[in-house]
Amino acid sequence: MCRLRFHLFRVLLPVLALALFSAPPPVQAVPVLQAQSKESVRKKTTNSPKQKTIRILGDYRNISAVKAPAGRISPPSRSFRMDFISAKSIMVIDAASGRTLLSRSPDTPRQPASTIKVLTGMIAIDTLKNKDRVPVSKKAAKQPPSKVHLDHQKTYRANDLINAVLLASANDASVALAEKIAGSERSFAAKMTALARRWGARNTVCKTASGLTAKGQKTTARDLAIIFRQAMRDSEFASRMKRTKTRTSEGKLLENHNKALWMINGSVGGKTGYTNAARQTYVGKFRRGKDEIIVAIMGSESMWTDLRRLVEYGFARKKHIAANRIPAGREDTTFLTGTIAQSEF
């Protein structure tokens, strides 16, 4: 009997052990989550103080909403400041009245470079006929650039040489005209000085017909503006100055050095200049509607940038004077800090 019990125990023991260890854990009571209405969920979410609103920018794979700025951004603007201008001397005047619109060291004497050729051209226009023949001396032919490479064994039409002076800024043509008219460049320079004085440019002394650096030669930004204002009253001079290019009677192309004619709105004529001593110089006239201004620059390091800014300022200044009825002789310096759109510079 004992053996039989022991045998049954040995058979049933593994079965009991297997049943004991493989049985699932006792089931515990789990609270049942009752279905809630959408309204109650919405209220709970809305009232929760910790709930944060997530802003979704754009559609899937579309970042345009992220890149676009919030609202419209106006174009940048800045006040006109004289320290943006590299020129050492500046004169901006009303072409009609001669009223000063802006100036910086306008009476400081400086080398004029080729801007003084305005006087050379005017004297030649008044003295010579277009078909007059002009000889070329060895001195004239050997002038340094800018030049049109005249042959000292030939003669040229005065009309062609005047255009070479005013458009191509030719030094050789300047000396050839001077010698034709006055016998020598020195005598011609005296005529240039006399014409400048007659026009009211009292601080101008000419020593060369070309404007190449010479001891004792000088002019000022104010004088350049006065000279060019007077010269542009001559219809033939003005007609030549507005040409971007022309051809000589021999077919040679002469291109105008005055880039303002196609770079700056309203340009109707101007004369450029450059020497190491003078740096960049310029004088020119601009017209927009009924408004006309003259701009003279001396001692510039970035002439075209300076010129564009000064032209925009000059026309804005004229409108300001007219709108506020500012009488002549009264300077309204507050306008110097007035805002002009950056795009206009």
Band the pLDDT of 198: cuts 50, 70, 90: very high
When comparing pLDDT for 53 and 250, which is higher?
250
- The answer on pLDDT for 258 being more than 50 is yes
26 belongs to a structural domain: no
- The answer on pLDDT for 333 being more than 80 is no
With 0-12 / 13-18 / 19 or more C-beta atoms within 10 angstroms meaning exposed / middle / buried, residue 155 is middle
Residue 210 tokens read as 């070309």
70 belongs to a structural domain: no
- The answer on pLDDT for 299 being more than 50 is yes
Residue 261 identity (one-letter amino acid): L
Band the pLDDT of 19: cuts 50, 70, 90: low
Q: Residue 14's pLDDT is what? A: 56
187 belongs to a structural domain: yes
Band the pLDDT of 202: cuts 50, 70, 90: very high
pLDDT of 60-97, one tens digit each?
333 333 333 333 333 333 456 777 899 999 999 999 99
Residues paired with residue 135 on neighbouring β-strands, in sequence order: 155
286 belongs to a structural domain: yes
Q: Residue 323's pLDDT is what? A: 87
pLDDT of 52-61, one tens digit each?
443 333 333 3
Q: Residue 337's pLDDT is what? A: 42
Calculate what percentage of the chain has a pLDDT beyond 90.
68
Band the pLDDT of 15: cuts 50, 70, 90: low
pLDDT of 138-184, one tens digit each?
999 999 999 999 999 999 999 999 999 999 999 999 999 999 999 99
Q: Residue 42's pLDDT is what? A: 47
Q: Residue 119's pLDDT is what? A: 98
330 belongs to a structural domain: yes
> Mean pLDDT in the chain?
82
152 belongs to a structural domain: yes
Q: Residue 16's pLDDT is what? A: 56
190 belongs to a structural domain: yes
The structural domain count of the chain equals: 1
CATH no. for residue 298? Answer: 3.40.710.10
Domain that holds residue 218: 77-344
Q: Residue 100's pLDDT is what? A: 95
State the pTM of this model: 0.74
34 belongs to a structural domain: no
Average pLDDT for 323-343: 57
- The answer on pLDDT for 17 being more than 70 is no
Residue 263 tokens read as 């770079």
- The answer on pLDDT for 44 being more than 50 is no
Query: Could you check whether the bond before residue 169 is cis, i.e. omega within 30 degrees of 0?
Result: no
